[in-house]
Structure 1
Amino acid sequence: LTTATPSCPPSGPLLPRPRSLSTSPFLQGAFTNLTNTLNTALAEEIGAGWHIPNTSFSLAFITHDDPSPNHPTWEFHHRGSANPRGVAAVDGESQYLIGSTSKLLSDVLVEKAGVDAKRRMTEWVPELAKGESKIRWEEITFGELRQHLAGIPPNCESGFSEYYYLLEFFERLGFPHLTPADFPECGIIGLNGDCTREQTLQRVLDLYPVAPVNQRVVYSQLSFTLISYAMNASLGKNYSELLEEYVTKPLAMTSTRPSPGDDSKAVIPPVENSWGSDYGDNAPGGGLVSTTNDLARLVHSILNYAIFDTEAAVKRWLKPTSETTSPTTSVGRPWEIIRSPTVIPRQMTDIYSKSGGAYGYGSHLSIVDQYGVGFVVLKAGPPTVEYIMIDTLLSTILPAVEEETRLQAQKYAGAFASPANTTAVQANFTIDEGPGLRLGGLTRNGSDIVAGIEGIWPYTALGVGGNLSTDNLRLYPAGIYEKSTYTPAGSNKSIPVIFEDWRLNFDAVPNEGVKSDLPSSGVMNDFCVSWQMIDWVYYGGEPIDRFVYVLDEKTNELVGLEIPFLRASL
């Protein structure tokens, strides 16, 4: 097997998360370029892609170690010149409707409240078990609703799926004539009022299923309305009370609440919009107002793994729960996950996002956990602008974050050697155009250990087959840290340190080098084997893929390297 580039690095950070990004020259340059480019677009010297007088927006970039978690590392605000109402100057405290980004806050609420994801909805909303329904409600749990796997329609009493105000346009296009009596008795924008809880649940029983439970992802606004009903039954409080208790108050998100918001803080566009609307039971799925400062606090809490009780709980939340047919798009709770091969060309970059839209408003929140950074876009004005803006932010800022990450990781690269009075062990690592660290060489008493690993591969990697090429072995951080004390070489004084585990990644293709006349389309060549090879081969009780960097706890400077399977300290 010979590979020019790694085919299957591990998920997660490929180099340690960068620190102090707010002072990085790479980021400062990116911020200056981005600010200048936005101002140039607003001056209509280049094409922005949207109608500038009608559009207001707020942009924010957040890092895990922001000096002030109450404010973004970088922000940009603009008020459209045609705005007739609302704030005179847009800033981080200006309120926008955030549409379906509300689902993210509602899911945080569900997680923090400790609701059992395996409980069936019929236990908390018994009306779903009454009467005859084509949807198998008895099979649907909290978990399926949160993950968009319930197979139910996206809307019900919200009116989002019925366009009564476009009735004449539909008919001109050839659709049959309808009268008001052909529409439901409530929840239809432009025709009648909101549905009560009882009316909503009655309509829910009349809905068609979109797919069997757990067969495929189907985006649903209705899911979060039903979740709020269940939480009210289980916890005895309404949605607004629970949101404040579990989310907005603990995070000091003082301007985030169900619509209507505060007109004196509002960004109100000069286009048709739903500012000031009471979303009622639809607030959990799409009816909150918020600000960039509030959402920056949320992002900061996620990036620091403080949003839930444990780091493990946050990392479990930041995982896909189902796939789409696109290899670059998956779905979480309730994340919209993009696996981008282009924003950082040397690697896949996982972007955990939640987007939202309300009438006249758009929003987008993204987390890039491997770098410890996040983005927020809030927009008031014509549709689709937020997608242009988030693409611009990611494309401008993430490459600069990657450059700073690689610069800070240079301390892990270079030549390492054991002390003169010990067994001679030498190791060499480089940071090249690929991901992680490249293992350039590893010897012990003159023996080539890298060649030795290649030699033992056929006899130890049972069930995988193929050959291992060692010309591109790479090392990645494992995310395992241990505080201890350590005596550096040449010193007789121990210091407090952090032992930082890294793992060698074994890329292999199962059928490589195997000759057969049987039909083949190369399907198995696309199979990722490396995740099965972690910690697989041991020598004397130590895994041969484990390397441990030793960092001074106070300064974070590198003071040593341990290679346990070689019994070596470098």
Structure 2
Amino acid sequence: MYSALKAGFLALPYLSLGALAALDGHCPPLGPVLPAPTQPSKHEAVPAAAAALRGIIDQVTATYNGSAVAIGVKSIHESKLLFEYAHTPANKEKRGAQKVDSDTVFRLGSLTKVFPVLALLKLKDRGVRLDDPITKYVPELRGLKKQAREDSPVWVVDWDEVTLGALASHMAGIPSDLITDIAPFGNLSAYGYPPANTSRMLGCSGFFGTAPCNKTAVAFFEHYGQRPPAQVPFSSQTVYSNIAFPILSFAVEAITKRPFAEFVTNEIWKPSKMTRSFTTKPDDALGFIPPKDIWWDANLGFEGPEGGYFSTINDLHRFFDAILLNKLLPPAQTRKWLKPVTATSSTGLLIGQPWEIFRAENVTSDGRMIEIYTKTGDLIAYHSILVLIPDYDLVATMLLAGPEVSGSAMTLMLSRIIQTLLPAVEQAGKAEARAAYGGTYVDKATNSSITLSLSDDGPGFSISRYVIRGVDVPSTDPGSTLPPATPPRLDPPMRYRLYPATANSGRQTSWRAVGTRGTAAQVDKADAQIVWPMASCLTWAMMDRVTYNMGARDHFVFDVERGKVKGVEAVGYGVFMKKEC
């Protein structure tokens, strides 16, 4: 369908594209519309927002008598946290930490799931690919079908069709879990269940004082095949899976011939300088333990790699710094990892490996859509979340535990953090971008000039003046078609915004211009005729399309010398313009 759309649009002049959707008719590319700020803490808006946020969270935690909260927010470009918060409740177990701070250990729950995926990505040099079938490394899985009710797709997982990537992204369709079976925990006839079949009980779980399960004997390979699949692999109906991640850890162990916990500790945590992270329960005095808690001591056994690990706010920030500064994976592999791979029935949620990626359109001043990469975790009393907002190089972490907190409370608190802090960080980014790139660029020899401004709330830079060799580009732009012999006189003229591309050598930075003549009203009118939203927003399909002498018309490259922008080249026009002081 997209090839047909692009072919049709390519034959039309820009003015016929009408309204590229969103933001007063503008349709920015997905991603940052300005460079992320490198010193956000120095902008006056950020400490003011942090103070306001502290007041908001103080009001929430004022009622927490047995629950602890630890929060950190950090730019990857700064060594210190932008925002740091800790609440120590009056009631807590005496054997645990008596004061909560950013070094207090909490249980991570499912945030643990990032480590099996990263472990496999780090084994790329051994030929491991996420498209590999899991049976390449754990062939014993094929034997599980002998436990099924019958040999059919309704009752048996075809493990040869299940890839490492499918397991990492909840697309394998396998049974979601094993140790969460509730049959051993009391008479449940009042809920309509029949008497429990003791031959189908695990005899372990790690919960409520029971022994942890191991992957051999009765726990996994003797019972898991009794569970029918949730879906076929790669179904559109994505089903969250806990047990996929212990299975991934089996693969890591088969490849490395090392215990999975040892691999994570030595190959991920040590290079990240994580000193207070644990694969098993650490000394009680290091962690927060809610009053009368039974979950701090729970041992998930072989399912530890899906939800059994422990860490701190500071260690989680060290971990994400290591990811985003490419200390754990090469840059291209890191970028590939931080991408969605499938959707859910929520229009605001995509799934990665194993990221939960939320999309929001109500947190930036320009109203554009941004993506918020997260991994959440819940282990009854413990709740965690690791958050990346790539457009601003901003990372947030939250660790909560106790009877008054929940996963939904954590999500609400995260929303307050984003709503309060992100606009201030955005202001900091605009101030840095304005100082570095804003202003007028001129080449008198060719009568060319361009002016970049941030005078409105629109995305990226507004190009308020754009003259090349004496020609006013906005009023003569013929769009994505062969220019006619006589340039058109467009009324109203095109409106351009300039956005950073991802290519940056340090000496030069690459940007792209996107133009539109449509107003917000025209966008709404055009999009109302199409069954899917934002149908006219096709910037992704139109960039880098028109070239002259192999240079793209929309391509701009800034020269940077000793941190100062000296000028910009309009690549397609072959003109270099110096920045006026």
TM score, norm. by length of structure 2: 0.84
> Gaps spanning 5+ residues in structure 2: where?
1-17, 149-155, 485-489, 523-527
| Number of the residue aligned with 2:368 | 347
Give the SS at the match of 1:54.
Answer: coil
Percent identity at matched positions?
Answer: 25
Change beyond 3 A, Cα 1:284–1:2: closer
Deviation at 1:550, TM superposition (A): 2.1
Matching of residue 20 in structure 1 with residue 32 in structure 2: no
| Number of the residue aligned with 1:59 | 71
Contact 1:437 / 1:475 at 8 angstroms: preserved in 2? Answer: yes
| Number of the residue aligned with 2:224 | 204
Q: Quick one: which of 541, 545, 554 aligns to 2:554?
A: 545
Contact 1:499 / 1:551 at 8 angstroms: preserved in 2? Answer: yes
Give the SS at the match of 1:405.
Answer: helix
Change beyond 3 A, Cα 1:437–1:470: farther
Change beyond 3 A, Cα 1:5–1:300: same
Q: Quick one: which of 146, 153, 175 aligns to 1:153?
A: 175
What is the CA–CA distance in structure 2 between the aligned matches of 1:83 and 1:192, rounded to whole Å? 24
Deviation at 1:177, TM superposition (A): 4.4
Contact 2:73 / 2:394 at 8 angstroms: preserved in 1? Answer: yes
Q: Quick one: which of 34, 51, 57 aligns to 1:38?
A: 57
Q: Quick one: which of 408, 412, 426 aligns to 1:402?
A: 426
| Number of the residue aligned with 2:457 | 433
Contact 1:186 / 1:194 at 8 angstroms: preserved in 2? Answer: no
Contact 2:474 / 2:495 at 8 angstroms: preserved in 1? Answer: no
Deviation at 1:324, TM superposition (A): 1.3
| Number of the residue aligned with 2:5 | none
What is the CA–CA distance in structure 2 between the aligned matches of 1:324 and 1:347, rounded to whole Å? 21
Give the SS at the match of 1:255.
Answer: coil
Q: Quick one: which of 82, 86, 101 aligns to 1:77?
A: 86
Contact 2:36 / 2:391 at 8 angstroms: preserved in 1? Answer: yes
Contact 1:427 / 1:441 at 8 angstroms: preserved in 2? Answer: yes
| Number of the residue aligned with 1:494 | none
Give the SS at the match of 1:478.
Answer: strand
| Number of the residue aligned with 2:133 | 120
> Counterpart of 1:472 in structure 2: which amino acid?
R
Describe the superposition over 1:447-486 as per-residue Cα deviations: whole angstroms up to 9, x where unpaired. Answer: 2112222x2434479xxxxx99854321100121235xxx
Describe the superposition over 1:252-283 as per-residue Cα deviations: whole angstroms up to 9, x where unpaired. Answer: 21111112122011100115431122222111
**Equivalences for 1:160-559 in 2 at 5 Å?**
160-162=180-182, 164-165=184-185, 167-168=186-187, 170-172=188-190, 174-179=191-196, 181=198, 184-188=201-205, 189-190=207-208, 193-198=211-216, 199=218, 200-216=220-236, 217-270=238-291, 272-308=293-329, 310-344=330-364, 346-382=367-403, 383-384=406-407, 385-411=409-435, 414-420=438-444, 422-431=445-454, 432-453=456-477, 455-459=478-482, 471-483=494-506, 498-506=507-515, 521=530, 523=532, 526=535, 528-552=537-561, 554=562, 556-559=563-566
Deviation at 1:231, TM superposition (A): 1.5
| Number of the residue aligned with 2:567 | 560
Describe the superposition over 1:474-515 as per-residue Cα deviations: whole angstroms up to 9, x where unpaired. Answer: 1100121235xxxxxxxxxxxxxx211110124599xx99xx
CA RMSD of aligned residues (A): 2.7
| Number of the residue aligned with 1:100 | 110
| Number of the residue aligned with 1:110 | 120
Contact 1:273 / 1:361 at 8 angstroms: preserved in 2? Answer: no
Deviation at 1:42, TM superposition (A): 3.6
Describe the superposition over 1:535-560 as per-residue Cα deviations: whole angstroms up to 9, x where unpaired. Answer: 110123211001122222x2x22221
Change beyond 3 A, Cα 1:433–1:288: same
Contact 1:418 / 1:568 at 8 angstroms: preserved in 2? Answer: no
What is the CA–CA distance in structure 2 between the aligned matches of 1:388 and 1:243, rounded to whole Å? 31
> Counterpart of 1:316 in structure 2: which amino acid?
K
| Number of the residue aligned with 2:6 | none
Contact 2:167 / 2:244 at 8 angstroms: preserved in 1? Answer: yes
TM score, norm. by length of structure 1: 0.86
Change beyond 3 A, Cα 1:175–1:469: farther
Alignment: residue pair count: 524
Deviation at 1:395, TM superposition (A): 1.5
Change beyond 3 A, Cα 1:456–1:23: closer
Contact 1:508 / 1:529 at 8 angstroms: preserved in 2? Answer: no
> Gaps spanning 5+ residues in structure 1: where?
44-50, 462-466, 484-497, 514-518
> Counterpart of 1:239 in structure 2: which amino acid?
F
Give the SS at the match of 1:370.
Answer: helix
Change beyond 3 A, Cα 1:270–1:192: closer
